[in-house]
Structure 1
């Protein structure tokens, strides 16, 4: 080997251009992207803002389908093409103006319902948020309140994520209460119990299952309250209606999913309340299906029951299940052939039927079907109460709400028809009142202030006066409209009853 060759092989190596030098433009772009994302609280491989976590997404592909669960601290989108975006922007705009001396109310729901899995439609959720906004920011209301939305996903499957984020943010955000809570479920109970364990109050709106105020072990959840009725309240009202109108042959169709406490406790409450024996019961349980929707599956199942129903010849079917499921039952009853001796039937159910209303229904085909349900609220409900001396007060409170909803915030009056905005408003109104009564900004001090909202000092609401039972946390003397749904989906009032048989504050023993 020559000296020249040896020198060349043993001399200093020739260094190639480094990756950074060769891809300088790309590196600069990545740095800029990272810096920009940091300013808005996002990482570029994530789609969700502060307090939120991505689920159901391919995290390697920015822009793929995603859902954000958790506490929406930035009031940004929680899914692709989020239909709540206009309301989230409205909330963000108001939150940005409250200054440093503020208190926060959280609205907890499944903010991105999947129609293949969830029984609650998005339109119902939208109206709940509208009602919450109306209560948080009335035209002449007190300043300094923020509103944050929290999403726990389908069936509250991500309740632990939401609970952790709310607990972590409670002190810094000065959280007054968590409101709404969505549908009754075992996951929802676990979430509410966890918040209560950390001293955070929850005020349910549409959760009616009797056991929502107890934890999974059966112990009372001390910091849980609700402005809506219980299923026992609804079943008692339904049983009275059935007895009054002379129905004799009552059949029950019951959802038995262990996770859906709304259906199971509604069925149990009706059995305990009805003076007319149930002659026949059919049960169903729906699991998430990969190849078909919940509604399509149940339409097929209920069709299989046609001969059984014809044989039982009920004059009334009490349906202890979700509103979406009721739609499948009605389609099967009306469209699967005539029954000898059964020309028509009344189907009565609970408040979840409001999610079915608004959609055309074929009620007058092979078997005529009449739908009745106990509702959480109805905009014209006080017109069935005009003879009572308390009517002017209840009507005035409701009219004040409508003026704020349509005038101050410009929401369409047509959005009030199913009561979702009204009941959500009252939950937030109770939280606002508790915060105003409280001299402390510590979240753990709020529950005692909510407890002080009793029959002697109730909160005027859109659905009536709000007052809480000191033992159970349930609403006292809730007004319950009984409504019908026509073939065009329109809703009409049939009756107005009270959960304890009388309006609030008409007797000295109002707290009992």
Structure 2
């Protein structure tokens, strides 16, 4: 057969399709993933485990180019060189041994804090997880409990991802409750409200904003509870301290970000609680900046108020803002020059100051500063309660916690100083008790069981007895230590007060 007839018989040569046409489906997937990453910051190709999604991070301030947000179903790392690694390994080992009839408690926090923008430093977060572990797995406690860590990232920006993952896993994981919640913000409020709408109980530990138990429209979030105080509790305690210690010229500085409900509700609560007139108020609005850190910016801003403060000559400044911002204020007061007639003053604030403690502070320079704050908990707080007949009971409960924390789990006792482990322990202990009382493993049955933890059926905790108000979900009669921070960062007890002026009462009308 001739060459011409060959071509006629076989037709023109077939040209192979281009790569894009042959892999059209794959190309579409890649384009979709890239578009999603551009819009949301989520990078699904990173090495995050089940229930987690990778998002971009500032490697200089986080220590990783990405962090994992969502529900950590595998108890694996949530960033490169994750400093939570040893605790995640411990949690995984315990979870694997929980058996088939397990119940799950979720610990929700910003587990990968960004040093440039987040107020809670990593050591505080680590201690919260240690407290959760202590409550979930006491030496002679009920068996069959799991812990899962949930990370919503800086400012709870990825709250929707976390909510979706918790809701999706709730039935299969037999979720008892979501605990901790981290910081009070509009995002964390939205997350809690979403979980509540799906019948999932949340037990807050460190969230103190009064409006955390309402959604963004102001409606009651029915399935939210908390073991910590409210900002009204803290402001009332501070107002009492200020009045009884003879302060007469009070100034307030407040954070004014609508997103940060901790600062805004603390300011509102102090205004309504103060027994001493507030001379005037200065407000600031912290914002992420491209060219400088939040702390450096606020130092400059607070220095610009020097003449205002010198002119007012307050003997006390009430600071309604984050601990990170308080450090900037103290530095500005101490290092911006003396004020005629104002050699020293007291600065008082809320519990977020605990994130500032442990670090050296400039308190004794141009203007001497005495720093006080209302704390969530303190390891030696019951030593200020020895005269009360109830002291032995509270001290015994605390000592039992310490024995589990240091003995059963081998955590250093020095980790207790800021109260983070204590308050998260009590949130998880309440969840464990509610689950133990419940004959059902269905997550939607749990809120009613949490409500059974009332003043007649309280849970013994490290920070006192835990009992929830049946209307608000707030804790009843919370003990509030008032602490000082010295220039070397050390913390010392000043007083112990109660949110309702008395320890928990167990009479039939105790909830009123």
TM-score greater than 0.5 by the shorter chain: yes
RMSD value, Cα: 2.0
Specify the alignment match of 1:6 in structure 2. Answer: 4
1:68-107 equivalences in 2 (<5 Å): 68-107=68-107
1:316 aligns with 2:316: yes
Specify the alignment match of 2:498 in structure 1. Answer: 498
Give 1:509 deviation, angstroms: 3.1
Aligned residues: 484
1:457-468 equivalences in 2 (<5 Å): 457-468=457-468
Give 1:275 deviation, angstroms: 1.0
1:416-427 equivalences in 2 (<5 Å): 416-427=416-427
1:322-471 equivalences in 2 (<5 Å): 322-471=322-471
Give 1:357 deviation, angstroms: 0.2
1:241-320 equivalences in 2 (<5 Å): 241-320=241-320
- 2:455 and 2:506 in contact (8 A); partners too: no
Q: Distance in 1 between matches of 2:81 and 2:15?
A: 47
1:81-230 equivalences in 2 (<5 Å): 81-230=81-230
- 1:381 and 1:496 in contact (8 A); partners too: yes
Give 1:54 deviation, angstroms: 1.1
Instruction: Tell me the SS of whatever aligns to 1:411.
Output: coil
Note the alpha carbon deviations across 1:92-116, whole angstroms, 9 max, x for none. Answer: 0100011111000000000000011
Note the alpha carbon deviations across 1:179-235, whole angstroms, 9 max, x for none. Answer: 000000011111000000000000000000000001111111110000000000000
- 1:75 and 1:89 in contact (8 A); partners too: yes
Specify the alignment match of 1:33 in structure 2. Answer: none
Specify the alignment match of 1:482 in structure 2. Answer: 482
1:227-246 equivalences in 2 (<5 Å): 227-246=227-246
Q: Distance in 1 between matches of 2:306 and 2:126?
A: 36
Q: Distance in 2 between matches of 1:508 and 1:501?
A: 19
Instruction: Tell me the SS of whatever aligns to 2:178.
Output: strand
Unpaired stretches in structure 2, ≥5 consecutive residues: 20-42
Unpaired stretches in structure 1, ≥5 consecutive residues: 21-42
Note the alpha carbon deviations across 1:423-442, whole angstroms, 9 max, x for none. Answer: 00000000000000000010
Q: Distance in 1 between matches of 2:300 and 2:224?
A: 39
Instruction: Tell me the SS of whatever aligns to 1:259.
Output: coil
TM-score, length of structure 2 as denominator length: 0.92
TM-score, length of structure 1 as denominator length: 0.92
Q: Distance in 1 between matches of 2:344 and 2:377?
A: 28
Q: Distance in 2 between matches of 1:260 and 1:153?
A: 15
Runs of 4+ aligned residues of structure 1 deviating over 4 Å after TM superposition are 7-20
Note the alpha carbon deviations across 1:367-394, whole angstroms, 9 max, x for none. Answer: 0000000000000000000010000000
- 1:186 and 1:259 in contact (8 A); partners too: yes
- 2:358 and 2:489 in contact (8 A); partners too: yes
Q: Distance in 1 between matches of 2:320 and 2:17?
A: 69
**C-alpha spacing 1:506/1:101, structure 2 compared with 1 (3 Å):** closer
Instruction: Tell me the SS of whatever aligns to 1:81.
Output: coil
Give 1:11 deviation, angstroms: 7.1
Q: Distance in 2 between matches of 1:333 and 1:44?
A: 46
- 1:102 and 1:144 in contact (8 A); partners too: yes
Q: Distance in 2 between matches of 1:215 and 1:11?
A: 76
Q: Distance in 1 between matches of 2:387 and 2:162?
A: 46
Instruction: Tell me the SS of whatever aligns to 2:372.
Output: strand
Q: Distance in 2 between matches of 1:72 and 1:48?
A: 9
Give 1:18 deviation, angstroms: 12
**C-alpha spacing 1:333/1:194, structure 2 compared with 1 (3 Å):** same
**C-alpha spacing 1:211/1:64, structure 2 compared with 1 (3 Å):** closer
Give 1:19 deviation, angstroms: 12
Q: Distance in 1 between matches of 2:196 and 2:206?
A: 19
- 2:69 and 2:150 in contact (8 A); partners too: yes
**C-alpha spacing 1:104/1:190, structure 2 compared with 1 (3 Å):** same
Note the alpha carbon deviations across 1:143-194, whole angstroms, 9 max, x for none. Answer: 1000000001111111111111101100000000000000000111110000
Instruction: Tell me the SS of whatever aligns to 2:363.
Output: coil
Instruction: Tell me the SS of whatever aligns to 1:101.
Output: coil
Q: Distance in 2 between matches of 1:469 and 1:18?
A: 70
Q: Distance in 1 between matches of 2:189 and 2:44?
A: 35
Give 1:17 deviation, angstroms: 12
Give 1:10 deviation, angstroms: 5.5
Give 1:46 deviation, angstroms: 2.7
